[in-house]
Amino acid sequence: MKLCIVLFLLLLVASCQAKTLIVDSGESGDANTLLAAVFLAGNGDTIQILPGNYAGAIVDKSVNITGTGAVIIEGSLAVTAPGCRVSDITIKARGKDAGISLASPNNQLVRCTIGGIATAVKVTGENNSLRDCRINSPQGVEIFAAKNEVLQSTISGSTAIRINGTGGCMISGCQISALQGGVLIEDSLGNAVVNNTFSGNGFGVVLTRSHGNIVSYNNLSRGYVSGLDVVDSRNSNLTKNYITGGKVGISLRGSQNCNVSGNICEKNERAGIFVEGANHNLLASNNLSENGNGILLQGSIENSLISNQAYRNVYGISLRGCTKNMLRENVLLENSYNLRVDPGQGRSGSSNYDFFVQDIDQSNLLDNKPICYLVGKADLMVPEDSGFLGLVSCKNISASNLTLKNSSMGVLLVNSTNCNIQNCSISWAETGFLLQDSQGCTISRCLSVNCNTGFLVEASSECQFAYDQARNCSAQGLRADNAQGLSLLGCEIQFCQSGIALHESRLCRIQNGSVSNNQGEGVLLSKSQNCSIIGNAAFSNDRGISLTGSSSCFLQANNASGNKLDGISLQQLANINVQNNIALRNGQGIYVQSSRRLNLSGNILGENNRFGLRISSSKDCNITENNIYDNWIAGANLVDCAGLLLYHNVFEKNGIQNAADNGQNQWDGGPSAGGNYWSDHSVHGNPADVPRQIPGGGVDRYPFQDAWGWQ
């Protein structure tokens, strides 16, 4: 009896053992289609497919499907049973269906090659695994369920892998090439993208509204818009990645509490790390070289930058339109501009000082010198070994003998009062010295060389520049916008695009300075009122001294000689006094256009290539006591003017003619005061009563016999 029971049990076990079904399109196997084999199989069976082309199928049994040789499934494979394993087959999907759909949990896809015109793999079941696969499809792998993994696979397409609305997935050890997106993670939590190699265009890894994800030890190269792009996401870790050759290496946009550490970003066009509209992120121990910006923060607050190394970038670290970011132990070395702090594009001149409120201490090194960045400090002396000086909302700070180079601004004063900077030298900066919204500050005996702008003043009042120098600046040597009460004393500007430029400023004084060999204007006042230009030398510029749209200004005792166009140019002005200036050997001595109520007196205008004095479309001006001689075309040329009064001027030995006038102007002060001296009109008497006709229609009724005969 016992023997019968044992035999029965043995037969029962044998009947339950898994079996192997052979699929052969040549009719020699158990089935000639995969669908038929699945129908015949039981859970736990193996379906072995011999070489050939087969139609797709629905796999609703927990089976092991494996290919032997060149096995091609032409169509879709839908796995709806759990615990299946599909290996060593090629799936060529047709139509819009996915090549293989994993709709159940705990399945494995191993060493398969999958392609199609839509999606290669669609995963809606949990805990599935793709390993050692080759996938080429516009949409490579789409995952909509938790705890799935893609391992050691090669994936190419428009979007290689998409994870949506789920979590706990792993992408590791893959070779990923994508035209638009390598790995796209949307509205998902706790996923990991680790140790993959990416190439292509568009975006490498994108986290959108996804939190607590890990992106580490990946290698991204070639032309990505952004290698790692984190958008509106929180608490993600981006660590130990290598990113090169894209537009941006790592981008955080609108994201919070992310950890970006230990990454290497090289040769990215715009930035190694770009942070926009983001806060409370940690950027630590990143290595950033040969990028447009090593680190660029834009419109971001309260981020921490710690122990990063930025070298040989255009900008090392840029804080643009940001506030309250903390910088500690960062090393900036050999960047074109090591540190940039400004309001950002389109915000120049903003009175919002928050853009400059940063927590930057002396542990940060700029070309091996500590950064001195003070906020809200008073009554201090700046260390002479500083490599950058920023003073924000400070009072009575003094600095001297600094040698600074290679920063966006060498010295930055914002909303500061009564600070004194002297004997400092700045080179290779975008702006050597910047004063913004500051009062009563003094910059004296300082040098700015090879900068874009040597000295820049914005919305500041009662500040003084004394005996400062700017040379070889690609824009202005000294520029002031919306300044009041600015004094420029004894300053020297040479070999710049333009020398001194004041825009929309008032009550400013430029005195005893020198502007020479500048490509544009030596001194330019634009829309500036009640300013004085006194005792300056303006030599060998395009124009020596130029005023446009400015009124109630005073020019006295300047020497504007040897300039290419005009010694002194006065356009669209009113109520200007121009007295006792010298303008020799220019294109024109003094040029006046569209102006009124000007007083030109005591000026020496000689040896100019065209005219000593040329006035057009102007009225109600007084021109007296000027010495106008040896100008090549004419001494004075008046075109379309009215109401001008010219007398007691010397016109001597000018080229084609001493003067010409086609308007309604008066060339004498009456019989008592007399008119002018003309070297080409001989008379007797001071004044005489023999009129001198002016070509074009004017007449001097009472010319003088002798030069200066009225004195």
Average pLDDT taken over every residue of the chain: 94
When pLDDT is cut at 50, 70 and 90, the band that residue 551 belongs to is: very high
For residue 603, being part of any structural domain is answered with no
Rounded distance between C-alpha atoms, residue 466 and residue 463, angstroms: 10
pTM for this entry: 0.89
> Strand runs (DSSP E) across 504-558, as ranges?
509-511, 514-516, 521-526, 532-534, 537-539, 543-548, 554-556
In whole angstroms, give the CA distance from residue 144 to residue 541.
69
276 inside domain: no
Cα–Cα dist 413/431, whole Å? 12
- Residue 205 pairs in a beta bridge with 183, 228
| Residues 390-437: tens digit of each pLDDT | 999 999 999 999 999 999 999 999 999 999 999 999 999 999 999 999
**Per-residue pLDDT tens digits for 484-526:** 999 999 999 999 999 999 999 999 999 999 999 999 999 999 9
9 sits in which H/E element? helix 2-16
Q: Which residues pair with 275 in a beta bridge?
A: 252, 297
User: pLDDT tens digit string along 128-187?
Assistant: 999 999 999 999 999 999 999 999 999 999 999 999 999 999 999 999 999 899 999 999
- Nearest-5° Cα angle at 35, 30 to 39: 70
**Nearest by Cα to 634 from 611, 668, 615, 665:** 611
What pLDDT is attached to residue 27? Answer: 77
Say whether pLDDT at 351 is over 90.
no
- Lookup result for tokens 């000082």: 353
Which residue, 70, 71, 68, 61, is CA-closest to 35? 61
pLDDT in tens, 587-601: 999 999 999 999 999
Instruction: Judge contact between 399 and 379, C-beta under 8 A.
Output: no
Does 406 map to a domain? yes
Beta bridge partners of 447: 425, 469
- Give the residues across from 359 on adjacent strands: 326
Tens-digit pLDDT profile for residues 74-104: 999 999 999 999 999 999 988 888 999 999 9
Cα 470 → chain centroid = 24
Which residues is 152 bridged to in the sheet?
A: none
Question: Which residue is associated with the tokens 């106008």?
Answer: 628
CA pair distance 655, 658, nearest whole angstrom: 7
Q: Residue 54 maps to which CATH number?
A: 2.160.20.10
Predicted local confidence at residue 48, as pLDDT: 96
In a domain? residue 227: no
What does the pLDDT look like over 457-483, one tens digit per residue? Answer: 999 999 999 999 999 999 999 999 999
Report if residue 447 sits inside a domain: yes
Residue 3 in this model has a pLDDT that exceeds 80: no
Question: Which of 94, 122, 152 corresponds to the end of one domain?
Answer: 152
Question: What is the span of the domain harbouring residue 53?
Answer: 22-152
Measured distance CA(628)–CA(677) in Å, rounded: 10
- Answer whether residue 707 is part of any domain: no
Min mean pLDDT across 193-202, 245-254, 338-347 is at 338-347
- List, for residues 264-318, the tens digit of each pLDDT value: 999 999 999 999 999 999 999 999 999 999 999 999 999 999 999 999 999 999 9
Q: Which residue has the tokens 């004195």?
A: 711
pLDDT at residue 241 tops 50: yes
Last residue of a domain, one of 108, 134, 152: 152
pLDDT at 345: 73
Q: What is the pLDDT of residue 26?
A: 82
Q: How far, rounded to the nearest angstrom, does the alpha carbon of residue 242 sit from its chain's CA centroid?
A: 24
> Is residue 572 classed as helix, strand or coil in its secondary structure?
coil
pLDDT digits (tens, 9 = 90+) for 653-671: 999 999 999 999 999 999 9
**Pick from 152, 167, 186: which residue ends a domain?**
152
Judge contact between 412 and 419, C-beta under 8 A.
no
Neighbours of 180 (CB within 10 A): 16
Whether 576 is covered by a domain: the verdict is no
Cα angle 328, 329, 334 (rounded to 5 degrees) comes to 120
The total of structural domains in the chain comes to 2
Task: Examine residue 544 and state whether it is found in any structural domain, yes or no.
Answer: no
Neighbours of 384 (CB within 10 A): 12
Which amino acid is present at 56? Answer: G
Rounded CA separation 611/634 (Å): 5
DSSP state of 26: T
